[in-house]
Amino acid sequence: MSKQYFIRQFSSSIRNYSSAKLNSSQIQYGPLSKAQQAFLDRIIRVDQAGELGANYIYMGQYFVLSSKYPHLKPVLKHMWDQEIHHHNTFNRLQVEKRVRPSLLTPLWKLGAIGMGMGTALISKEAAMACTVAVETVIGNHYNQQLRILMNQYNVDLINKETGEKVEKDDLESVKLNTSPELAELKNNISTFRDEELEHLDTAIEHDAEKAVPYILLTEGIKLICKGAIWSAERV
């Protein structure tokens, strides 16, 4: 034991002495476990389906409301554009990361456009209540995903030159602890979550709570969204 201890002390003092911290080009990220891969697979599939849904809901709302209420037109358009960007991002990830899209995609399209148009046809307040419900569920869902990505994605870092395991202290920056791939994903998800919460605020500013019957509408839609998330993760 003591011999190993000295070797370790010795090598770490050499490391400190040379004090050359490793940069991104000098390290390599170890493989993900099957469970980690499976979770990423699900994240991308369900988020792609979710953003497709959001895109189509706003499309349906815009179609019905933009001519009747000109003052809502730019508000809806801004949110819709953001959803299109979210949707495109997950479409790209689905292709690049070779994730199977949800088999029920045609159904999500139909359901979402129906929900968007349907609530908008009831009233503009009902459309906003729909937004409140959807964004609440999606915002929570993104937070859950971020928590898991923060806590359960530690992998070994390997020094490219020596093939040895790299300790965290030897990195040039703590950011290098996370691979660019996972950093990008987390970054996207947290940006999107913030934007979803903005949509939520916008909807409340536009009298979502005046929709009748508000509770029935929002709770019903929340249930539908949760059911859809459950299926899109699996099928």
Partner 1 sequence: MLKRLYHSSSHIGSNTIINNNLIESKIFNNAIKLIPKYGFSKNCINESIKNLKYSDSLQSIISWQSDKSYEFQLMLYFLKQKRQELENFTKNTKVEGVDEYEKLSKLIKYRLSLNSPIINELSQGMSQLILPYNLNESIDELYNLSDDLAFYSGDKSHSFDWYAKRFTIGSIYVKSELFMLNDTSENFENTQEFVDKKIDEFKMLSDTYNNIEQWAIFNGISLINLIKSQLIRG
x/- binding map, residues 163-202, to partner 1, per CB under 8 A? ----------------xxxx--------------------
Tell me whether residue 51 is annotated as binding: yes
Q: How does DSSP classify residue 16?
A: H
Q: Which two tokens stand for residue 29?
A: 């990220």
Whether residue 205 contacts residue 79, with contact meaning beta carbons closer than 8 Å, is answered with no
**Residue 28 C-beta: closest distance to partner 1, Å:** 6
Residue 141 touches Fe ion, criterion: CB under 5 A: no
Indicate which of partner 1, Fe ion, none lies near residue 44 (CB less than 5 to 8 Å, by partner kind).
Answer: partner 1
Nearer to partner 1, 126 or 176 (CB): 176
**The one among 22, 44, 129, 200 contacting partner 1 by CB under 8 A:** 44
Task: 187-190: list long-range contacts, CB under 8 Å, 24+ apart.
Answer: 188/89, 189/47, 189/142, 189/145, 189/146, 189/149, 190/142, 190/146
Is residue 233 annotated as involved in ligand binding? no
Q: 28 or 190, CB closer to partner 1?
A: 28
Look up residue 63 and give its DSSP letter.
H
Binding flag, residue 97, partner 1 (CB under 8 A): yes
Which residues of this protein are in contact with partner 1, per CB under 8 A? 28-32, 34, 37-38, 40-41, 44, 48, 91, 94-101, 103, 105-106, 109, 155, 179-182
Which residues of this protein are in contact with Fe ion, per CB under 5 A? 51, 54, 83, 86, 196, 199
